Amino acid sequence: MPLTLSYPRIPVSAILKGSASIFANRPALIDAGTTWTFAQLYEAALRFADTIKRLGVQTGDVVAVVMPNCPQFAVAYYGILLAGAVFSPVNPLLSAADMAYQLNDAQARGVIMHDKVASVVEQAVRQSSVQWSIVTGNGDAALSNSPFAADHPWGSAGIPQPSSSLAWISFAEAIQRGEAREQEPALDPSRALAHLAYTGGTTGRSKGVALTHFNVVANVLQVAVWQTGLLPRVESGGLMLPVTAANDRYTVQPGRGSLINLTPWFHAMGIIGYLNVQILYGTTMILHSRFDPGAYLEDAERYRVTSLGGAPPIFVALVRHPDWTRRDLSTVRGIASGASPLAVEIIHHLEDRLPQALVVEAYGLTEVTMVALSNPSWYGGVRKVGTVGIPLFDTACQVVPLDDPTAPALPPGEAGELLISGPQLMQGYHRRPDETTGVLRNGWLRTGDVAVLDNDGYVAIVDRQKDILIYKGYNVYPRELEERLFQHPGVLSAAVVGKPVLEVGEIPKAFVVRRPGVSISVEDLLQFVNQDLAPYKRLREVQWVDSLPVSAAGKVLKRVLREEN
CATH, residue 542 = 3.30.300.30
Q: Tens of pLDDT along 294-322?
A: 999 999 999 999 999 988 878 888 988 99
Among 475, 50, 464, 14, which Cα is nearest to 264's?
475
Q: Would you say 540 and 503 are in contact if contact means Cβ atoms under 8 Å apart?
A: no
Q: Which residues pair with 132 in a beta bridge?
A: 110, 167
CA 318 to chain CA centroid, Å, is 21
- Contact of 497 with 466, CB cutoff 8 Å: no
Question: Does the residue 168 lie in any domain?
Answer: no
| Average pLDDT for 178-192 | 90
Top pLDDT among 140 and 37 is at 37
pLDDT digits (tens, 9 = 90+) for 137-167: 887 533 333 323 333 333 333 433 333 356 6
Give the chain's mean pLDDT: 89
Phi/psi of residue 50, each to 5°?
Answer: -65, -40
Contact 249, 454 (CB under 8 A): no
In a domain, 97, yes or no: no
Q: pLDDT tens for residues 391-416? A: 999 999 999 998 899 999 999 999 89
State which amino acid sits at residue 172.
Answer: A
- The closest of 225, 237, 257 to 23, measured between CA atoms, is 257
Does 482 fall in a domain?
A: yes
User: What is the C-alpha separation between 216 and 279, in angstroms, rounded?
Assistant: 14
Contact 230, 240 (CB under 8 A): no
pLDDT band with cut points at 50, 70 and 90 for residue 479: confident
Closest CA to 275 of 71, 537, 477: 71
Q: Is 231 exposed, middle or buried (0-12, 13-18, 19+ CB in 10 A)?
A: middle
Strand partners, 482: none
CA atoms within 13 A on the CB side of 58: 1
Indicate whether 555 pLDDT > 90.
Answer: no
Closest alpha carbon to 128 in 159, 96, 152? 96
CA dihedral 346→399→271→537, nearest 10 degrees, is 70
Could you count the other beta carbons within 10 Å of the beta carbon of residue 444? 19
- Does 223 map to a domain? no
Structure confidence at residue 141 (pLDDT): 32
- For residues 296 and 302, what is the distance between their CA atoms, to the nearest angstrom? 10
Arithmetic mean of pLDDT, 74-86? 97
Domain count, the chain: 1
Residue 528 counted as domain residue: yes
* Domain coverage including residue 518: 469-564
Please check whether residue 559 lies inside any domain of the structure: yes
In a 13 Å sphere around the CA of 201, the CA atoms on its Cβ side amount to 14
State residue 273's pLDDT score: 96
Per the domain annotation, does 286 fall within a domain? no
Q: Kindly state the helix (H) or strand (E) to which residue 103 belongs, with its residue range.
A: helix 96-106
Strands 334-337 and 307-310: parallel
Residue pair 32/40 in contact by the 8 Å Cβ criterion: no
Instruction: Look at residue 558 and give its three-state secondary structure.
Output: helix
Within a domain: residue 60? no
Mean pLDDT confidence for 265-276 = 95
> Phi and psi dihedrals of 492, rounded to 5?
-90, -45
Question: Parallel, antiparallel, or unpaired for β 238-240 and 440-441?
Answer: unpaired
Segments in 418-477 forming alpha helices (H)? 433-439
Q: What's the mean pLDDT in 462-482? A: 80
